[in-house]
Structure 1
Amino acid sequence: MSFTKLKAQWLEHYKTAPDQLNKMGEINGLISAFNANVDAVIKVNGKGIEKIIADNSLNTKLILGEGENSITSNEDAIRGFLNCFKNGIAEEWLIEDVDVFEWLNKNVGYDKMQMGGQGGIVANVMAVCGVNSVFVHCASAPKDQAKLFLDLPNLLTTDQNGDIKQASKVDRSSDLALIHWIIEFDKGDSIQLNGETFVCPKANRFIATYDPLNFKLHIDKNFANRMAQNDVNPEYIILSGYQMLHEKLQDGSKGADRIDESKKIIEKWRESCPNSFLHLEVASTQDKLIRKHLMDSLVEKVDSLGFNERELIDILEVIGEEKLAIKCEENTNSSNLFEGMLKIYEYTKCSRMQLHMFGLYLTLQTKNCKVSPIQNRNGMQLAATVAAAKAGTGSLDQKEVLLWAKDHQVSEVGLQELSDLQKTATTYFGENQLLETGLCSNDQFDLIAVPTILIEKPVTLVGMGDTISSVSLVGAR
């Protein structure tokens, strides 16, 4: 079948999106934890970065050199940016020195402030999609943070007294605002450095983060206690924020201990709602020991995992699949990544895993998963529609915007990836109609794959993965 006919067929599949969005209004409660912060967003160009390097007499050898994926110097900040720019990838590096934080504030600045942190972004998306009660955890909730939550009565957090209030109206004035830099760049832009020219292959962003509370997965006691009360009863709990942990924290404690402490809190939340669906958004976890502990400890409790290409490769690196990780990195395509998902399942036995990659979303789930394959496909299609609206309009602050892209066709990039995946899936599942229907299965697994809508010149890509994972999961009704 030609791509033209396939696009028409997938446009028919996507017509379920409005109904799926309406079904999200049937969900009574959802907890989004743990990280919410303020994002300082700026779009830069190559010439601007060249000027910052020159004006500050930065050491270009350090910028072009190898090193840890963390920021302890001004050169590290530019090195991280250049790494993302020249490869067209998204990464988050942590700032470990307050002087670098102040230098970025002075030399890079920001164009706007917006909601940041997976927990905060997911909460806003879930609320505007109509979930009845969205409870969002905030390590810090001063006015600068609270005003970034949508002004919606169904979006809630705890105030300084532990009472549930509309999140946008809370002002825990003694808390400090937690600010992250989101430095965006465009496809086709270039940077000249030491006689070399680096051309950006894909629009993306680099995140530089200074956040002492979320660095240690600080959990607000008022929120933790209130969510354990019997009147909350969330149907979904979406976890994130673990990526900022390190093996050893600045206060001398261990990152693994913070993970284990969060497990105890989550168990208390689930006592009144044992059938709640628990999802972990993996995110870019730089510390390998933390990454490994998440796979060995927290994942055994979750029902679902969400990750992008880079995060999947990172997981493979710590579960004894280094060769496959290298294979996926050298050739990052749907077939190799699917094989990576199979290996992650062998290690974790997680009943549902979702990959969001460029042009394609892919879910692998076991037969005992709580969500059916067709429900999953419908949720993924809604997620693709909502994500395209975010990319095309720059904001999901009103329900009317969510279906902005509902009549857009799926991308040829996605169809090509799906076509290649179908050939690989035949090895594991036999002959199938994956390209035409997005569905195939065997006795153990269901595989669901959806080609996505791509926006040629996105207004923003911030929070795209979080939006995709949460809407795919909660929109699968």
Structure 2
Amino acid sequence: MEMWEWDSIYHKSYEDIRSSIEDVRGIFVAYNSNIDAIKHIGVVDIEHLLMNVELKDVQEKVFEYPRQIESPSDLVARLIIAMRDGKAAEVPTNTTAIHDWLTDHLVFDSARMGGQAGIISNLLASMGIGKVITYVPWLSEEQAEYFVDSENLLFPVVEGGELVLKHPKQAFDPDNIPKINWILEFSKGMEVKFAEEHFVIPRDNRLIISSRPKWIRIEMSPELYERIPQLQADIDGAILAGYQMIKEEYEDGSTYMDYVEKAVNVIEKLKEGNPDIRIHVEFTSIQNKVIRKAILKQIVRQHVHSLGLDTVEVANALNVLGYEELAYSVINKGENAIVSLYEGAVKLLKELELERVHIHSLGFYICLVSKDCPVSTEDHLKALLFGSTVAAAQASHGEILSMEGTESGLDVPISVEGHNELEKLEKHLVRSGICCTEDFENGCISTPLYDALVIPTKVVSEPVATVGIGDAISATSFVGFLSKIK
């Protein structure tokens, strides 16, 4: 399909989903929200950081590829790696000393809502979704201030033995303290000189230093847990994120399996209240392979309907599911990377027994859908195009303040690179006998085992911010999907 034809379909799909989305009663969103301290790293900043660490240590760390930030050298090494590769990364730290070191050596540019669940809650509430019921176990007074002032944004609490929904600013625990992440953003084209290395950053992206203090727990009080089914009249779907906060072992002797079990129990409680509810998990970069595997096999498989991932997260998921060669092909971004990504989506749909797998990559989306999915491929395609439009608007302006504000995404051009990538995938699928050229034209492919949606997306050449774009893509596409079930 030519670019102008896609542009026409974008406009029609956007209007269609925008009207049907009013039928969605509400969404339950949990678990992670935090405060993001955002710093755009320039040449002077990286030079200053390098002056305050041992260069030899950083060189060694770059080679070792630290999976956790325990020292300033770890931090600078992971920043060098992220800038060199132009890849987004999220790396945990369990020590507040890293936050203190960054505060001493960098002044953040701004602070805003962070965490997948927090970002998604604010976005959907601003778009006017019926009810957005958000839940974070560590809601503090400071954190509550970063939730948008919207009457449809609610937080569940138990008062006098009854479930009550309040705005987060009326529901925080005064004893809780905020969780603060650092977002170190960098821009394409910046030259970096480090020891004997000299490179130019290939694309805009960021490194997230994710704070994991000891008191973080993915759980809820027994009183609230027992009343979750009472939300049945308020929600049609749930978007769950933040499972990366789970640790292998805790100081009190509990393990990751205790919190995996709690996570599954909450999903079952949601289903108890509404057997037709659809559960979406938004994946993220998880350094710990034990936790990554447990999330996929014990939480996602059989208990969840939908999974959202980016390219790196697909490779990480495939790796722990036993598809190391395919994972390498995805992450290597070679000539046939999109083919490997498509094949990876097929593996994930089957291995995790899902209803849908939505992969968002720069320039295109791949979404595989099971044959028993209650939404047609045509409507599913509309939901994806709607999600791309909203994400383009957010990338253009930095935030979405209303449903009307999403319409500007229609003015963003479709990615030429993404369109070209789809042509590569088309040739492979036709050669393999999976589909014919005509099937691929409208982005909808039907096979005996699954249906596939592949679309070129709208890409902002100079985004105001990159954090939260993937969350916007997945959340709004999923809500568009829900609107067609209704």
The answer to whether the 8 A contact 1:159-1:171 is kept is no
CA root-mean-square deviation: 2.0
Cα deviation code 1:52-104 (max 9, x no counterpart): 22035553334433143111111111111111111111111001222222112
Cα deviation code 1:197-241 (max 9, x no counterpart): 122111001000113268532435555344332554421011111
Query: What residue is the counterpart of 1:155 in the other structure?
Result: 153
Match of 2:343 among 330, 339, 342: 339
The answer to whether the 8 A contact 2:395-2:466 is kept is yes
SS in 2 for 1:283: coil
Name the amino acid aligned to 2:35: V
> Once the 2 structures are TM-superposed, how far is the Cα of residue 24 of structure 1 from its aligned partner?
1.7
**1:447 aligns to 2:452 (yes or no):** yes
Name the amino acid aligned to 2:473: I
Name the amino acid aligned to 1:20: I
Tell me: CA distance 1:181–1:433, structure 2 relative to 1, closer, same or farther (3 Å).
farther
CA distance in 2 between counterparts of 1:91 and 1:391 reads 18
| Greater mean deviation of Cα atoms: 314-323 or 21-30 | 21-30
CA distance in 1 between counterparts of 2:224 and 2:120 reads 17
Query: What residue is the counterpart of 1:380 in the other structure?
Result: 384
The answer to whether the 8 A contact 1:32-1:137 is kept is yes
| Greater mean deviation of Cα atoms: 235-244 or 419-428 | 419-428
Alignment of 1:197-276 (within 5 A): 197-212=198-213, 215-221=216-222, 223-229=224-230, 232-276=233-277
| Greater mean deviation of Cα atoms: 93-102 or 376-385 | 93-102
Cα deviation code 1:329-375 (max 9, x no counterpart): 22353211001111223322212101000100110111101222111
Query: What residue is the counterpart of 1:17 in the other structure?
Result: 14
Name the amino acid aligned to 1:25: E
Structure 1: segments with no counterpart, 5+ residues: none
| Greater mean deviation of Cα atoms: 14-23 or 282-291 | 14-23
Match of 2:419 among 404, 415, 418: 415
SS in 2 for 1:228: helix
Cα deviation code 1:130-173 (max 9, x no counterpart): 21111001122223211211111001113584631122444432
> Once the 2 structures are TM-superposed, how far is the Cα of residue 33 of structure 1 from its aligned partner?
1.0
SS in 2 for 1:31: strand
Tell me: CA distance 1:214–1:341, structure 2 relative to 1, closer, same or farther (3 Å).
farther
**1:37 aligns to 2:34 (yes or no):** yes
**1:55 aligns to 2:56 (yes or no):** no
Alignment of 1:136-215 (within 5 A): 136-159=134-157, 161=159, 163-212=164-213, 215=216
**1:463 aligns to 2:468 (yes or no):** yes
The answer to whether the 8 A contact 1:180-1:209 is kept is yes
Name the amino acid aligned to 2:319: E
CA distance in 1 between counterparts of 2:376 and 2:98 reads 48
SS in 1 for 2:473: helix
SS in 2 for 1:40: strand
CA distance in 2 between counterparts of 1:368 and 1:26 reads 22
Structure 2: segments with no counterpart, 5+ residues: none
CA distance in 1 between counterparts of 2:322 and 2:97 reads 38
Query: What residue is the counterpart of 2:480 in the other structure?
Result: 475
**1:78 aligns to 2:79 (yes or no):** no
Tell me: CA distance 1:409–1:100, structure 2 relative to 1, closer, same or farther (3 Å).
closer
Query: What residue is the counterpart of 1:135 in the other structure?
Result: 133
| Greater mean deviation of Cα atoms: 343-352 or 127-136 | 343-352
Number of paired residues? 473
The answer to whether the 8 A contact 2:138-2:178 is kept is yes
> Once the 2 structures are TM-superposed, how far is the Cα of residue 269 of structure 1 from its aligned partner?
2.0
| Greater mean deviation of Cα atoms: 356-365 or 95-104 | 95-104
CA distance in 2 between counterparts of 1:385 and 1:222 reads 40
CA distance in 2 between counterparts of 1:428 and 1:119 reads 40
Percent identity of equivalent pairs: 29
Tell me: CA distance 1:194–1:127, structure 2 relative to 1, closer, same or farther (3 Å).
same
SS in 2 for 1:384: helix
CA distance in 2 between counterparts of 1:460 and 1:226 reads 38
CA distance in 2 between counterparts of 1:99 and 1:221 reads 33
The answer to whether the 8 A contact 1:376-1:473 is kept is no
> Once the 2 structures are TM-superposed, how far is the Cα of residue 414 of structure 1 from its aligned partner?
1.1
The answer to whether the 8 A contact 2:232-2:274 is kept is no
| Greater mean deviation of Cα atoms: 70-79 or 99-108 | 99-108
**1:351 aligns to 2:355 (yes or no):** yes
**1:314 aligns to 2:302 (yes or no):** no
The answer to whether the 8 A contact 2:318-2:327 is kept is yes
Tell me: CA distance 1:98–1:452, structure 2 relative to 1, closer, same or farther (3 Å).
same
Name the amino acid aligned to 2:94: E
CA distance in 2 between counterparts of 1:203 and 1:234 reads 36
**1:399 aligns to 2:403 (yes or no):** yes
Query: What residue is the counterpart of 1:110 in the other structure?
Result: 108
Cα deviation code 1:252-290 (max 9, x no counterpart): 321232111111122112212010001111111111111
Tell me: CA distance 1:446–1:251, structure 2 relative to 1, closer, same or farther (3 Å).
same
CA distance in 1 between counterparts of 2:215 and 2:314 reads 23
Name the amino acid aligned to 2:290: L
Query: What residue is the counterpart of 1:283 in the other structure?
Result: 284
| Greater mean deviation of Cα atoms: 9-18 or 290-299 | 290-299
SS in 1 for 2:254: coil
CA distance in 1 between counterparts of 2:101 and 2:231 reads 47
Name the amino acid aligned to 1:11: D
| Greater mean deviation of Cα atoms: 54-63 or 25-34 | 54-63
SS in 2 for 1:115: strand
SS in 2 for 1:136: strand
The answer to whether the 8 A contact 1:62-1:76 is kept is no
CA distance in 1 between counterparts of 2:313 and 2:332 reads 15
The answer to whether the 8 A contact 1:150-1:168 is kept is no
CA distance in 1 between counterparts of 2:449 and 2:390 reads 31
CA distance in 2 between counterparts of 1:256 and 1:309 reads 27
